[in-house]
Chains A and B, each alone.
Chain A
Amino acid sequence: MKRFIALGSAILLLAVVAAWWTNSRQPKPIVLIPTLTGKPEYCLTCHSDLREISPSHPVKTFGCVICHGGEPLALDANLAHSTMRGGANPSDLSVVQESCGGSNCHSGSAADNNDHIQRVMTSVQSTYAGAIANILYTFGVEPDLTARFGIHAVTDDVITTTTGLPALQVFDPTKQTNPSVLKFAANCLNCHINAQPLPGSQFDRLTGCAACHTPDVESFPKGQIHELTTAIPYTQCNTCHNRGNYDLRTMTFVQRTDQPLPTDRLHNYYQPIAQFTKCEYTLDCIDCHTRTEAMGDGDIHSNMKQIQYIQCQTCHGTPTQLPQTKTLTDPNDIAFRLAQLNPVVDLKLGDTILVTSKGEPLWNTRVLPDGTYQLVGKATGQVFTFKPVMGSGCTQNGIDQSSAYCHTCHSVQR
């Protein structure tokens, strides 16, 4: 009996020594108690070298766990990471509601302009509804171009536009029989923000919100991608929008033929066949296209054309009409919040800015005292001045002012 007690004691002693030794090998935890959660987390023990993700999400206020999930008090890497949301990318749409959502964050109300997640989930950028509807109509599966399917199923209880749809079912290729539709499903479902990018550095991007808001992924050291920005350069849009074309005969993606891509913007910005004006290759996409166009308006639409509405006349007006403007009198105007997130302009009460036909503020513009306009590049900070069409030599009919008409005279030759 005594032998067993001695043996047991020896084993216990060894176990205690082993536990002490293991514990002594653990790093000394760096404790962070974020203001927002008030709960301690040890993530900075290993990740103190990570840069702040954005001025709007300081780690001192938000911490890491509120976005990334994980085990806040674990010092073992595998355990700490075991319950992370979306792996290294909590903005992936499969987990975005838990990570970026919350009524104070990005799943708030439309009235507060905090309904980002609802808008993105219903937008064509994530549903890919337009391409799917087009293919199904083209090959006789559906009777018209109205979208019925998306990459993910989605519903919308509050329809605010004439083209808004109540719901989309999930597009299930196993229920299709048409060979072209099957090829489309096999080869072409990689052009939306749920999909992993194609191989090749020119396609590098993340999924979900980070597909747009985390630019220049390839420039980060592996595993150190930690940036969110609203100053999105055109190169980020190009990871999807300027890469090549889908060949409808073979149902395959055909990359641009001018590889490696030209480095000057004039030749890089658009595919060789496209027409464009000077501002289209000089500015970044987000200098003209609004958050509603890019992230959606909360309604489910059948295609991109139903949501994209910015035209040359939005900024330049027509021969008979000046562009719409608005003088900022309300300190809570959304223009101030947008300008604060990307402070390339110092917007003040009393400033007059351009607005779109839907009333969205083009907060990076300003009407100058001499009647001309100023635009500051959201990604570059470059200052551009421009004049209205009214009073110029333009003789174009006022109602034919879509960009296709403007390209007729103003496209740049390459």
Chain B
Amino acid sequence: MGEVVLEARNLSRFYEVGGGLFRRPGVVKALQDASFRLEAGKTLAIVGESGCGKSTLARVVTMIEEPTAGELLINGKKAEAGSREMRQTIQIVFQNPYGSLNPRHRVGAILEEPLKLNTTMDAAERRRRAEETMERVGLRPEHYERYPHMFSGGQRQRIAIARALMLEPKILVLDEPVSALDLSIQAQVLNILSDLQGELDLAYLFISHDLSVVRHISDDIMVMYLGKVVEAGDAGTVFAAPSHPYTAALMSATPVADPERQKQRIMLTGELPSPLNPPPGCAFHPRCRYATDKCKEAAPPAETHAGRQVACYHPL
């Protein structure tokens, strides 16, 4: 077991929406009771469809937003939004490389910004560090003076990764880092990410809806549905034999490049329910073919089943 760098205990985040002068605001439980541990040098993948709370988790973990309940421990200490040390430990790479770089700043300025804000380095030292990091992610020194609009999506994402690395963090939150990129560029960026992980012993919290990417990169996996963790465990174990009906459906939807393999697509019926008004009991029961009356009454607790945590009364 490596050193645990990040630990979440029952992390929750609720939003109040709507609500006018005469109407009570509705509560969206975007994230409920998420608990996990992340070790140095490992990758924890968080998967699920749109609106399941993946990005909320990213925002809570990076302290952009305060959790409504639960604790976040970074290096064994409780995370505080104002702490400079914490901030230097955890950094984020966003999904959209076209929106995440300030269009009015040069690449050099973008990379040096975290150093400028958090350290007392002088300009020459900052520049040296920026160029080192650029080399690390495969950018050339002459890119230092250019503006973001002069780069392609893949290059921009590399700039974003370089910026996240500037403070020498131990944890990187990757919020769908490759889903906006072409397939060939995806592989390139993923390779850079796994090289960096080896060199710098980084822990990744890899958020994605693309299971083929997750399979390629993750050590552990956590599947979410409507704000709740439905299955979590070792990636190999979960991929080999998913226990939760939702995980199974999700995995059957991923195309595999193997014509010999028999396709057994599990079709989910119905829509993702509104998070404003989730179904009672297990949130997945209206779409689940194994659902019984028990599922409609109480939400299943997470239990250990076949070497992983599953929140289901009828694990496969």
Q: Do A and B come from one complex?
A: no
Interface residues of B (CB under 8 A from A): none
Residues of A within 8 A of B (CB): none
